[in-house]
A and B are shown apart, each in its own frame.
Chain A
């Protein structure tokens, strides 16, 4: 009984830390521009696809596994950053002063476009993601175990999140980002180029999404396909809302909480309705605490 619980919690934390990484991308963009970047899940998918392609090719060339992993991750990050930069510039920037509905609709359009491009490039198949991390299971006690891969997932996401927090709180760029999220116009008057800051935000989010995509692909049965970004993207957004959108530690807390809630729900209620839990969590949070777990109460959020 206890063993099942602990195992469920471990699985929840692993999935949750991936959600948290994707949620950071949503929450940063939302914090600054106040829009949902619907295409973020697709950016994550593209990252996983690129990493899969690069890794498969390099493994065939006979490079050592660790080097392949690093190169694949870098390739995925670069592609995703360029992609995200372009998306922001083409689809969101011209609409910055338009009604809120407009960028939301372009965002949906972009996500459709990315999916169709992925179908065009990679086809409709489900590709196996090469095994780059050892999946040997370490038994902790009784029947409870954790794989090396899962440990790496949690550690990588921890490093990423701490790095991001340091970046936002300690560096000059971080200060500019915080200022932009307060008020884009005034930030411009203060000698900061808000367009550059916003581009940087999108690119940082994209880099995180690329890493998250790789980790997600390795964790979720090791398969990648063109539609893999949709559900985790949705859930990461829910995680960001749960934690308090616009709030960076909130995204981490929300991601972990959602991962745990989902694992517990799937383990103890029903695994078939796993995807339903996330949406139920979303509705409940929005009704009772629209500013999320860590968010401040504002008059006009939800």
Chain B
């Protein structure tokens, strides 16, 4: 991408960047004009999912470790924020009540690093026992990790030790407060109401942009190259003097970090968390974003996240009215249709475009490089 920009006329690329920036900044207004506040929410959530997909992309795309329980880190971040910025702990634990009578209400500046750190710790905890595993075993263990986290969230809600409030979930979570200003207050500028969704949009945009930036830098770094070496051939990577154990742990923990931050943001945005939001299905949806977009290619993954998150909404707005018009009722439920398309997409992408919709540009795509190695790039 950077090289691509360099090749273009600097003036032109500057204009392109400014247009993109303007579009991004105007996005919530466009969304509101198109479909009302619901659509602004969808755009907000898309940004969170971009962060999640970016995090999983580090593990799956860069390091080539298949993680089927990624949503667990999202859950860890979300639950941490839920506990730290609601009155749940004080309501249920004597010691917490004594220490914080009105409940803990920790500000954003503490929550984001803390959530990141906790998720990273969870990543290391998951990574350590399974360092030796590869491929499908790894996939299964991570799946188990995700399920275990969810089972604990469901069951740690008993009367004697009510940490997570079980399936009922934790509600009344504080909104994010930026410089003493809670983001759920509506600002009014010249008669146009900027609701909570708008304010969160800009917060998420900053976070997502930061995530994408960090991922770019990571990819280009020594660590990023080490991950790619690991992905291509771990034995060769080891022989090249790469500390495979450490970089695997770093992949898990850095990937988890973004999941944790996104989870924390999700909790304060929704004001409510429950185990429902952190199922195996969600893990697979995020995996599908990475796979569909193009494993390891950052713009591709962003595209994948946008497509995957917009797909059900798109279906709701097109297929349902279409069915109603044709058959008089909804035959195919959107949720089922979405799952079906997701499954089909994963199969078809792997069969016909194994590198994703927008894969990493390879040597052969660049015309000025004469490639001698034709076999390296033929799709399987």
Residue in A97, A106, A115, A278 whose CB lies within 8 Å of B351: A106
CB distance from A115 to the nearest CB of B (A): 7
A14-57 to B contact mask, C-beta < 8 Å, 1/0: 00000000000000000000011000000000000000000000
Do the beta carbons of B133 and A302 come within 8 Å of each other? yes
Indicate if A113 sits at the interface (CB-CB under 8 A): yes
Indicate if A110 sits at the interface (CB-CB under 8 A): yes
Indicate if A237 sits at the interface (CB-CB under 8 A): yes
Do the beta carbons of A286 and B137 come within 8 Å of each other? yes
Do the beta carbons of A91 and B347 come within 8 Å of each other? yes
Residue in A105, A278, A290 whose CB lies within 8 Å of B346: A105
Do the beta carbons of B339 and A112 come within 8 Å of each other? yes
B186-230 to A contact mask, C-beta < 8 Å, 1/0: 000000000000000000000000000000000000000000000
Do the beta carbons of B147 and A104 come within 8 Å of each other? no
The answer for the CA separation of A278 and B151 in the assembled complex, in Å, is 13
Q: Give chain B interface residues in 300-359, CB to chain A under 8 Å.
A: 332-333, 336-337, 339-340, 342-347, 349-351, 354
Do the beta carbons of A115 and B339 come within 8 Å of each other? yes
Do the beta carbons of B351 and A95 come within 8 Å of each other? yes
Residue in B145, B151, B280 whose CB lies within 8 Å of A273: B151
Q: Could you say which of B136, B291, B354 has the most chain A C-beta atoms within 10 Å of its C-beta?
A: B136
Indicate if B168 sits at the interface (CB-CB under 8 A): no
Given the interface pairs A116-B343, A276-B151, A290-B132, the reply to whether A101 lies near B336 with Cβ below 8 Å is no
The answer for the CA separation of A116 and B66 in the assembled complex, in Å, is 23
The number of chain A residues touching the other chain, given as a range, is 35 or more
Do the beta carbons of B332 and A286 come within 8 Å of each other? no
Indicate if A151 sits at the interface (CB-CB under 8 A): no
CB distance from A208 to the nearest CB of B (A): 20
**Residue of A whose beta carbon sits closest to that of B235:** A300
Dominant SS at the B interface?
Answer: helix
Do the beta carbons of B339 and A109 come within 8 Å of each other? no
Given the interface pairs A97-B380, A112-B339, A241-B137, the reply to whether A106 lies near B347 with Cβ below 8 Å is yes
Q: Could you say which of A94, A109, A114, A120 has the most chain B C-beta atoms within 10 Å of its C-beta?
A: A109
Residues in A with CB closer than 8 Å to B291 are 105
Residue in A97, A276, A302 whose CB lies within 8 Å of B148: A276
A266-281 to B contact mask, C-beta < 8 Å, 1/0: 0000001101101100
Indicate if B141 sits at the interface (CB-CB under 8 A): yes
Residues in B with CB closer than 8 Å to A276 are 147-148, 151-152
Q: Could you say which of A90, A112, A278, A287 has the most chain B C-beta atoms within 10 Å of its C-beta?
A: A112
CB distance from B129 to the nearest CB of A (A): 6
Indicate if B140 sits at the interface (CB-CB under 8 A): yes
Given the interface pairs A119-B339, A120-B332, the reply to whether A101 lies near B380 with Cβ below 8 Å is no
Given the interface pairs A230-B280, A282-B140, the reply to whether A113 lies near B134 with Cβ below 8 Å is no
Do the beta carbons of A36 and B139 come within 8 Å of each other? yes
Indicate if B284 sits at the interface (CB-CB under 8 A): yes
Indicate if B293 sits at the interface (CB-CB under 8 A): no
Residue in B64, B140, B336 whose CB lies within 8 Å of A116: B336
The answer for the CA separation of A241 and B141 in the assembled complex, in Å, is 11
A-B contact pairs, 26 of them (CB 8 A): A36-B136, A36-B139, A36-B140, A97-B380, A101-B64, A102-B350, A104-B136, A105-B350, A106-B346, A108-B343, A112-B343, A113-B343, A115-B339, A116-B337, A116-B343, A117-B340, A119-B336, A234-B143, A272-B151, A273-B151, A275-B151, A279-B141, A282-B141, A282-B144, A283-B141, A286-B130
* Top-4 shortest CB links A-B: A109-B346, A279-B144, A112-B343, A113-B343
Q: Which residues of chain B have a CB within 8 Å of any CB of chain A? A: 64, 66, 68, 129-130, 132-137, 139-141, 143-145, 147-148, 151-152, 155, 280, 284, 287, 291, 332-333, 336-337, 339-340, 342-347, 349-351, 354, 380
Q: Which residues of chain A have a CB within 8 Å of any CB of chain B? A: 35-36, 90-91, 94-95, 97-106, 108-117, 119-120, 230, 234, 237-238, 241, 272-273, 275-276, 278-279, 282-283, 286-287, 290, 302
